[in-house]
Amino acid sequence: MLALAGLVVVAAVLRFWRIGQQSFWYDESVTLGLVRHSLAGMLSMLPHSEGTPPVYYCVLWVWARVFGFSEAGLRSLSAVAGVAVVPALYGIGAKLVSRRVGLVAAALAACNPFLIWYSQEARAYSLLVLTSTLALLAFVHLLDSRPSRRWIVTWAVASALALATHYYALLAVVPQALWLLWFHRRDLRVCLAVYAVAVVGVALLPLALSQKANAAWITEAPLSLRLGQVAPQFLLGTGAPARSWLKLAGALALVIALVMLAVRADAHERRGAQIGATLAVAGVVVALLLIIPGADEVISRNLIVVLIALIVVIAAGLGARRAGALGLAGVATLCAIGVVATVAVAVDEDFQRAPWRGVARAVQSSVPAGAAGAVIVENTDSIIPLADYIPGLYAMHLGAPVRELDVVAAVTVPTVDFCWWGATCFLPVARLDSSIHIPGFHADGPVIHVHQLWIYRLRAVRPHFVTRAEIASALNGFPLTSYGVLVAPPS
């Protein structure tokens, strides 16, 4: 079908366009550090450094050795997975309601800015979405009274892979499994498939418990704040200009979808929407129930599988046979919002990940040949992404002989109540005070601007042994509060 092929092309363009432009951020740098090890070494490190199961890392370990360890190389796996979601969602909409609804669902997925953001990130979320979407595709085929063995096996394999990609696949797998156990309670094949997936979940439990502390930072923000971020980010993504106006336009399109379901959809179209809505609500309920035993990891990216079911619901309304011009207007509005938000992220540094690659270039380009330099940067998490771009970078413990000191501060970072997705709002804001004085060093040139990060450079006439205590004394009263001192060895 030409229309579906066109939507796949649109999805690919939006996901691969400037995919390597932004620097790695902290989470992606952790991914890079893992896949650089041997396969056995990587797997042994997962319980200590990650909060997700191993499937994504195993796939990426092979992928990186074919396509490289660059930003584009690592992220391309997520992009491919993100593109593959589009035809899978078409299949869900076509089976559940109609081909028209399938095309609308594919269009909404192709242009959704939240899905696009995670299709351009070297993390497990895009693969989670793909495996969960394939599980949902198999699930809707299993709603037939006599399901084929092919779809039973597909559901079991896709569900097991989803769980082994991310624990929050539970939000999709559990409601579907319970539904299938009830609907096909006399079909031994389906029951065995559900039990097999349950075995996989139980087998992952020891690893999940060992990784629990790695996600403890999520509960630092109130649950109400985190829940309040979900709907806007599902609609607009993590960054967009004129968010209030886009949110209003998107809300209007969603209202149109609900009205079309209520007054223009037939019984078959409403049934398809009800199935999607039931799965979405059940997924949110599962996420909230997980809080009771202490597994509170409720943020938008962990609820991303719920977005797939919601897209089906919206598509059923806007793609209803009698939705007419209003339905098309709603589809066009939501797709336009997605394209605007995606383009804005690609061209506006305020919405992008921190420019550590640019900082590394600025530092390395000025340190005299054969000499070492030091970087003073707030937030010790910055050590990891900077180390990806400055070979041999290490943290200073006592002192080191250096010719140059570069003080880095995030000066113009957008203010967000709870920023966790890697954009520059993730960095603590600090005013760059150019009055800092360290014995043996003098100011060298004007302050350097690398997008939101500013660099104030100090230089010594010859290599000078500077201690961490001297730097701490110089920074007394300085805006940097939780800083790391990193040493770039001689080039």
| Segment holding 364, helix H or strand E | helix 356-366
- Give, in degrees to the nearest 5, the angle at Cα 259 between 253 and 263: 150
How far does the chain reach from its first CA to its final CA, in angstroms?
55
Short-list 231, 237, 236, CA closest to 249? 236
What is the structure's pLDDT at 380? Answer: 65
> Which string of b and e fits 242-279 if b means at least 16 CB within 10 Å?
eeeebbebbeebbebbebbbeebbeeebbebbebbbeb
What is the structure's pLDDT at 436? Answer: 84
Residue at token pair 């031994």: 188
What is the structure's pLDDT at 395? Answer: 85
Give burial (CB, 10 Å; 0-12/13-18/19+) of 59: middle
Q: What is the pTM of this model?
A: 0.96
Gap between the Cα atoms of 130 and 88, Å rounded = 8
What is the structure's pLDDT at 272? Answer: 97
User: What tens-digit pLDDT sequence spans the chain (491 residues)?
Assistant: 899 999 999 999 999 999 999 999 999 999 999 999 999 999 999 999 999 999 999 999 999 999 999 999 999 999 999 999 999 999 999 999 999 999 999 999 999 999 999 999 999 999 999 999 999 999 999 999 899 999 999 999 999 999 999 999 999 999 999 999 999 999 999 999 999 999 999 999 999 999 999 999 999 999 999 999 999 999 999 999 999 999 999 999 999 999 999 999 999 999 999 999 999 999 999 999 999 999 999 999 999 999 999 999 999 999 999 999 999 999 999 999 999 999 999 999 989 999 999 999 998 888 878 788 988 887 767 678 998 999 888 888 889 999 999 999 888 888 888 999 999 888 888 777 777 888 899 999 889 999 989 999 999 999 999 998 888 888 877 767 677 888 888 86
Query: Where do runs of H (alpha helix) occur along 367-434?
Result: 383-389
What is the structure's pLDDT at 143? Answer: 96
The alpha carbon of residue 306 and the mean position of all alpha carbons in its chain are separated, in whole angstroms, by: 15
Short-list 129, 452, 133, 172, CA closest to 285? 172
447: which DSSP letter? P
Give burial (CB, 10 Å; 0-12/13-18/19+) of 241: middle
